[in-house]
Amino acid sequence: MELNYKVINHEMAEVKLAELTADTYLIQSVDDGLQLLGDMYYSGFDAIILHSKNIVPDFFDLKNKMAGEILQKFSNYRMRLFIVGDFSSVSSKSLSDFIRESNKGKQVNFVGSLDEILA
């Protein structure tokens, strides 16, 4: 499936970030995540910024392992991933723990706003 999205370039401290925006879900499956990773990796980006509204809700249900599989690929390719959204009202303890643990590292971060990334 062809993914339609717009890439907004950001640069900070010589790190090239690709903010991907779309009117629909960009990640609906593990394959979609791999496609985005590959596209941005080969376009020379160091990190991808995705908005939570562009990720299918199943991604945030850790039982189906979609998030784990996708995020493992990002780690393998050393591509940073920022997911922007309001995660303050997450009711799942496992998802809340997952977000907190991810945010301790530098590979995958869940943030409240684009400004948090670019600051």
**Whether the Cβ atoms of residue 62 and residue 95 lie closer than 8 Å to each other:** yes
pTM: 0.94
Residue 54 DSSP label: G
Q: Which two tokens stand for residue 25?
A: 């879900």
Predicted confidence (pLDDT) per residue in 23-44, tens digit? 999 999 999 999 999 999 999 9
Predicted confidence (pLDDT) per residue in 58-85, tens digit? 999 999 999 999 999 999 999 999 999 9
Q: Was domain 6-118 assigned CATH 3.30.750?
A: yes
Residues found in the chain = 119
Indicate if the pLDDT at residue 1 is higher than 70. no
Residue 63 has a pLDDT of 94
Q: Give the C-alpha distances (Å, rounded to integers) separating 22 from 15, 47, 51, 89.
A: 23, 17, 9, 24
Residue 89 has a pLDDT of 84
Residue 90 has a pLDDT of 87
Residue 109 has a pLDDT of 97
- Parse the chain into domains and list their residue ranges: 6-118
Mean per-residue pLDDT over the chain, rounded:
94
